[in-house]
């Protein structure tokens, strides 16, 4: 099944949301809608769900129209699950009753509710009400409720935003395996790079109501920054764990090895976020090639603007350095030059991945 979306929505004194995308609902995968607050992510999600009506365009599932001018299939008929930022649970109902809400006529209701409560880690809390749960537990109930009717697609709107950091980290760690076990594809709205990298198979980056980039999260996020002076720009690369020692991971990245702080846990693959300002450059002379995180590299591009320069490198994998313009001039750097990239271990953040991912 292919869901095709091409919609517009205009807000008074606000941006025009104008977005087009296709989603394959026959295979599991998490698509991330990524961008800053106000760029239109949630509005697009609500239009897909049927909670909000576009002004123009079309939405269809394998030719079956969900929306076109003058016609809209209501949200409850689309078989799309939705998890809100705040969970939006029924406060007077128990955990089990909240999960069962959309299954009134299902003969397998009791078994489905019990299985989902186990899956999301709430066994033993079936009879509690939302007010007796932590924020993380409430969001797990919301997730189970959305999954209960076995939707074609699950939509998650900043599901970790209302949680404290430990609860958010724990749920983020478990969410992908829960969705994969259910076999339900999902669209996740977030502005958090960690969410995108740990959960996403595909990323759609939005700016001012439009999708401006579509690709794997590491491709979309590499070097992404609002401007050159934004120290949040970074390289994102795939890595394989090949060893552990002294609190560090040894990681194979392309044809190179890197050492980075070990976040703990058992995993064999990861995405690395390497902050561009944590990469320094030196000429080859006088530096032993075996020094930890000193990588032989070649300059493939130089982008100099004012006091800063973004240097794109080939180290056996793509890497970016953010250095001062005077450092470029002092070293006499130009495209094609061989250099050594010195990567601080503290500039690398390791985001564990599902071992079954490529």
| pLDDT value for 225 | 54
302 vs 291: which has the higher pLDDT: 302
| pLDDT value for 227 | 44
50, 160, 182, 267, 326 from 144: Cα distances, Å? 20, 15, 11, 26, 55
| Statement: residue 229 has pLDDT above 60 | no
Give CA angle at 29 (355, 170), nearest 5°.
60
pLDDT tens, residue by residue, 211-225: 999 998 888 887 665
pLDDT tens, residue by residue, 88-139: 899 999 999 999 998 877 778 889 999 999 999 999 999 999 999 999 999 9
DSSP state of 15: P
| pLDDT value for 243 | 93
Structure tokens at 73: 């299939």
Average pLDDT, the chain: 88
Name residue 20's beta-bridge partners. Answer: 6
Contact present, 200 and 190 (Cβ < 8 Å): no
Q: How many CB atoms lie within 10 A of CB 30?
A: 24
Helix intervals (H) in the chain = 41-49, 95-99, 109-119, 135-147, 165-182, 193-199, 217-221, 325-331
pTM value? 0.76
- All domains of the chain, ordered by start, with CATH? 2-221 (3.40.50.300), 234-352 (2.40.50.100)
Q: CA–CA separation, 252 vs 80, rounded Å?
A: 40
Contact present, 175 and 184 (Cβ < 8 Å): no
pLDDT tens, residue by residue, 237-246: 999 999 998 8
| pLDDT value for 226 | 44
């Amino acid at each position: 099944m292919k869901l095709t979306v091409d919609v517009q929505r205009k807000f008074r004194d606000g941006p025009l949301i104008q977005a087009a995308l296709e989603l394959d609902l026959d295979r599991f995968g998490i698509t991330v809608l990524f961008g800053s607050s106000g760029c239109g992510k949630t509005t697009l999600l609500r239009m897909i769900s049927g909670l909000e009506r576009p002004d123009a365009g079309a939405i269809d599932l394998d030719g079956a129209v969900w929306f076109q001018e003058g016609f809209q299939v209501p949200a409850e008929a689309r078989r799309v699950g939705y998890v809100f930022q705040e969970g939006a649970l029924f406060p007077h109902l128990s955990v089990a009753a909240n999960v069962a809400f959309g299954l009134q006529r299902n003969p397998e209701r009791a078994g489905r509710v019990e299985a989902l409560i186990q899956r999301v880690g709430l066994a033993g809390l079936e009879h509690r009400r939302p007010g007796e749960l932590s924020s993380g537990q409430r969001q797990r109930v919301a997730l189970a409720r959305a999954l209960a009717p076995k939707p074609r697609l699950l939509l998650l709107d900043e599901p970790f935003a209302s949680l404290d950091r430990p609860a958010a980290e724990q749920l983020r760690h478990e969410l992908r395996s829960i969705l994969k076990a259910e076999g339900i594809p999902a669209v996740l709205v977030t502005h958090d790079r960690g969410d995108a990298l740990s959960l996403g198979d595909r990323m759609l980056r939005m700016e001012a109501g439009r999708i401006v980039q579509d690709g794997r999260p590491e491709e979309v996020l590499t070097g992404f920054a609002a401007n050159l002076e934004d120290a949040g720009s970074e390289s994102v690369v795939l890595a394989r764990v090949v060893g552990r020692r002294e609190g560090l991971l040894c990681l194979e990245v392309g044809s190179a090895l890197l050492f980075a702080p070990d976040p703990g846990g058992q995993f064999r693959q990861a995405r690395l976020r390497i902050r561009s300002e944590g990469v320094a450059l030196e000429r080859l002379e006088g530096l032993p090639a075996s020094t930890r995180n000193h990588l032989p590299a070649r300059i493939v591009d130089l982008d100099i603007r004012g006091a800063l320069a973004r240097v794109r490198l080939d180290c056996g994998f793509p890497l970016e350095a953010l250095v001062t313009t005077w450092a470029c001039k002092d070293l006499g750097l130009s495209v094609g030059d061989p250099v050594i990239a010195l990567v601080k271990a503290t500039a690398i953040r390791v985001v564990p991945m599902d071992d079954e991912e490529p």
